[in-house]
Amino acid sequence: MRRVLILITSCLLFLFAGSATAQAASPHFKKGGEPVCTISYSNLYTSSTTCKAVLAGLGNDDLLATVTVNGFAKYQCQNQGGNTAPGQNKVLEGPATEPTFIDSSAIKNGNLTLNTNAVTLAADPTATAAEAGCPNNNWTGVNPVLTVTSIRLVIEQPVGTTIFDCSASDPNGLTSPVTLTC
């Protein structure tokens, strides 16, 4: 009987110790470690966006950070003679999404410096006359200029449980670096 009592007590202690550890996770961004994203353009119609954040209070589970980017492209209208004029429409681009998986072994004492994978947003090199806002179908949209208008960063830990949902948007375009609001 005494062995059974000791076994039950040991199991209960193990159970309470495990739940205390799970409840101890209190994820937050370190001071100055709030998410900041960088937008770079490799040409006028392709952008690459990465985000960085410094987290603390994480649990011992894997982490998933997903960045989603949207924007628009403005085209010039080109006629069959090669003459160009500004297009009138903003052609919506995106969403482009890229996940970054972090194995739990990379989280040290609940701390992690998160650097996301790059998200590429690209406009087609040409657009129809209607898409670009050209005068008629004898024109083609060319020379797109891409503008990023929104970034969203969702951080999950464990994977499937959202701990942060951060974003920034400006319908006229974001200027890099972009600090996200969570």
Find the CATH number of the domain harbouring 148.
2.60.40
Q: How far apart are CA 73 and CA 144, in angstroms?
A: 6
Residue 25, pLDDT score = 75
Handedness of CA 131, 135, 136, 142 (dihedral sign): negative
* Position 86 in a domain: yes
CB atoms within 10 A of CB 90: 17
Does the pLDDT value for residue 15 go beyond 80? Answer: no
Phi, psi of 92 (to 5 degrees): -65, 140
pLDDT tens per residue across span 83-142: 999 889 999 999 999 999 999 999 999 999 999 999 999 999 999 999 999 999 999 999
In a domain, 21, yes or no: no
Greater confidence (14 vs 104) lies with: 104
Does residue 15 fall inside a structural domain?
no
Assess contact for 152 and 98: CB atoms under 8 A: no
| pLDDT value at 46 more than 50 | yes
Q: Is residue 72 part of a domain?
A: yes
What percentage of the chain has pLDDT greater than the value 70?
87
